[in-house]
Amino acid sequence: MKRHTLTISIIILAIVVFFTGFFVKKERFFDENIQLKKENENLKVELQELKTGNCGVIVLQSDILIVKVFSTYPFNIKNQIVVDAGEAQGIKNLMPALFGNNILLGQIIKVSKNTSIIQTIFDPDWQLPVRIGENEISGLLQGGNEPRITFIEKDKPINTGDIVYSAGQGFPLKLKVGEISEIKESAPGVFKEAVLAVPFNIGALRKVEILLK
Amino acid sequence: MKFFSLVILVGVLSIIQAYGLSVFGVIPNLALVAVVVSAFFAVNFFEGFFLILFSVLILKFSSGFGIELLVFTLIGAVAVVVAKLIPWHYLVGSLTAVIIAVLFFYAFLNPALILSFVFVKELFLDIIVSLAVFAFLHILWQDK
C-alpha cells in the first residue's frame, strides 16, 4: 500500500511541478529565443537577396497579422495548429501562415469566427511546387515529419544549404520554405530527393504570422 | 484506488499527448498506448470505456468531433472488449494489442504512412512506452 501511495504521490507531484511557475519562467526565455530566431531568419533572407541580387518576396509588416497558437495536433497522422484568430480578425481560407515575415509555415485550411486551423508543411498531405537555390531548380515539396523535396532532376546541381522557395499558386512567389540539409542521389529513376531543414520547431511555436494579402 | 491509478495514468499520458510531445521528430501515441494497456488492467468494460472517454476529452483537438478521435475511440473500445477475451499472458496480450491498435490507427487515417519510416519509429516508441506502462501497472497490481 505504501508503494502504491508513493507512486501516486510522485505522479501528482510531477503534474503540480509541470503546471507551476518554474516552467513559466523558462517559457519566457523560450519565447525570446524564438523571437530572436525569427529576426535572424528575416535578416538571412534579406542578406541572401543582397548577395545574389535575387529579389525574393518582400512582405510588408502591414500585411501581417500576428496570432497566438492554441494547440498543436497531437498525432503523427497530421500536423496542424490552431490559432486564436478567425473570420472576425480578417482571416480567410488558404491564407499563408509564416514564421517571422519570410518563411512559409503552412496555410489556413479552416476558419471559424475567432479561431483557425493551419495545415503546416509537416502534414503528410502537404505538397507544394518549389524552386531550389540561385539556379531555381524545380522540385516538389512533400510534407511529413521530415519534409522532402522530390522530383529534382538528377542532372541538376543542388547543394546542401541551398535555399528552397515556394513556386506554387496561392503563395507569394519566392517565399522561403527552408534549406536543403541532405541530398539523396540514390533515389530510383531520373529524379533525386533532398531533405528540407526548417528553422523552427512546430511544437515550440507560440505565435505565428498570417499573410493577409 | 487501482481504478484511480488508471485514471491518473491515462490522464497524464493524454495531457502529454495533447501537448504534442515529440521524440526525435516523432510523436508517440501515448494516449492510445495508455488506453490499450489499461484495458488489460480494468476490472470491467465500464472502467475501460470510461478511460477512453476521459482520454478523448483531454485530446479534443478543436471544435467538433474529428475522424481521428472517432477512430481512437473505436480502437480503444475494441481493445477493451478484446482484453477480456484473449487467453494470452497479459504482457504478450497488451503488447500485441498495442501493435495492432497503432497499425489500425494508421490504416484508418493514412494507410500510405504505414510504409514510411515515421510509422516504424512511432511503433518502436509506442512499444517502449507500453512496456513501461505495463511494468508500472504490474508493480501496482502486485501490491496488496
The residue assigned the cell 540514390 is A186
How many domains does chain B divide into?
Answer: 1
Question: Which residues have CB under 8 Å from A171's CB, separation 6+?
Answer: A96, A104, A107, A128
pLDDT tens by residue, A72-114: 777 887 788 889 999 999 999 999 999 887 889 999 999 988 8
Check whether A45 has a pLDDT greater than 50: yes
**Is A12 near chain B, with CB under 8 Å?**
yes
Is there a contact between A115 and A84 (Cβ–Cβ < 8 Å)? yes
pLDDT band at A210 (very low <50, low <70, confident <90, very high): very high
> What residue segments make up the domains of chain A, in order of their start?
1-213
Pairing of strands A176-184, A163-166: antiparallel
pLDDT tens by residue, A118-140: 999 988 889 999 999 888 899 99
One-letter amino acid identity for B135?
A
For chain B, the average pLDDT equals 87
Check whether B139 has a pLDDT greater than 90: no
Strand partners, A211: A64
pLDDT band at B53 (very low <50, low <70, confident <90, very high): very high
The per-residue pLDDT for A22 is: 46
Q: Report the gap between the CA of B71 and the closest CA in chain A (Å).
A: 12
The residue assigned the cell 510588408 is A60
The per-residue pLDDT for A20 is: 52
Q: Which of A138, A98, A100, A102 minimizes the C-alpha distance to A121?
A: A98
Question: Which residues have CB under 8 Å from A139's CB, separation 6+?
Answer: A129, A130, A131, A132, A149, A150, A151, A152, A164, A194
CB-nearest to B20 from A8, A73, A117 is: A73
pLDDT tens by residue, B13-38: 998 888 778 787 788 999 999 999 99
Mean pLDDT (whole number) for A195-210: 86
For chain A, the average pLDDT equals 80
At residue A149, the 3 state secondary structure works out as strand
Is there a contact between B134 and B34 (Cβ–Cβ < 8 Å)? no
Q: What is the CA radius of gyration of chain A?
A: 20
**Is B27 near chain A, with CB under 8 Å?**
yes
One-letter amino acid identity for B123?
L
Whole-prediction pTM? 0.71
Check whether B7 has a pLDDT greater than 50: yes
Residues of A in contact with B4 (CB under 8 A): 8
Share of chain A above pLDDT 90, in %: 31
The per-residue pLDDT for A145 is: 79
Whole domain around residue B29: which residue ranges? Answer: 2-142
The kind and range of the H/E element at B39 are helix B30-39
The per-residue pLDDT for A26 is: 47
- CA separation for the pair A166, A168 (Å, rounded): 6
Q: Report the gap between the CA of A59 and the closest CA in chain B (Å).
A: 30
pLDDT band at A7 (very low <50, low <70, confident <90, very high): low
Q: Which of A94, A131, A128, A133 minimizes the C-alpha distance to A111?
A: A94
Please judge whether B139 and A3 are an interchain contact, meaning their C-beta atoms are less than 8 angstroms apart: yes
- CATH code at position B109: 1.10.1760
The per-residue pLDDT for A51 is: 64
The per-residue pLDDT for B143 is: 65
B123: closest chain A residue by CA: A76
Residues of B in contact with A83 (CB under 8 A): none
**Is A82 near chain B, with CB under 8 Å?**
yes
Q: Which CATH number fits domain A1-213: 3.90.1580.10, 2.40.10.340, 3.40.50.300, 2.60.15.10?
A: 2.40.10.340
pLDDT tens by residue, A139-160: 999 988 788 999 999 888 999 9
One-letter amino acid identity for A206?
R
**Is B24 near chain A, with CB under 8 Å?**
no
CB-nearest to B26 from A12, A76, A202 is: A76
- CA separation for the pair A101, A45 (Å, rounded): 10
